[in-house]
Amino acid sequence: MFLPQGRGRFVYDADKREELGGDERIHITLGDDDHVHSLQKGLKGIFTAAEFADIMDEARSRCAELRDLVNEKLEGE
């Protein structure tokens, strides 16, 4: 997931064209309790503290959503 500077949106699983459209990117891996397992910032741009807080909030929300989907699928087997 990354947030193209000035575009006000997150991009998940970006394609090549989308990745080339920004000056910064961040990859985040969260564990079951939202602990950060890995975090990598790429490219030359920067994130403000407020942008980083928004990114982490969105990452936690999306991870919870994905965890629920996986758990529902596993329970159905």
Instruction: Give the list of residues 6+ apart from residue 32 with CB closer than 8 angstroms, or none.
Output: 67
Does the model's pTM come out above 0.75? no
* 51 lies in some domain: yes
Is residue 42 situated within a structural domain? Answer: yes
User: Per-residue confidence at 14, pLDDT binned at 50, 70, 90?
Assistant: low
Long-range contacts of 11-14 (CB under 8 A, 24+ apart): 12/62
- Quick one: average pLDDT of 34-52? 89
User: What is the number of structural domains in the chain?
Assistant: 1
Q: In the predicted model, is pLDDT for residue 77 greater than 90?
A: no
Residue 4 pLDDT greater than 60, yes or no = no
Task: Give the confidence band of 72 by pLDDT, cuts at 50, 70, 90.
Answer: very high
Domain that holds residue 63: 16-75
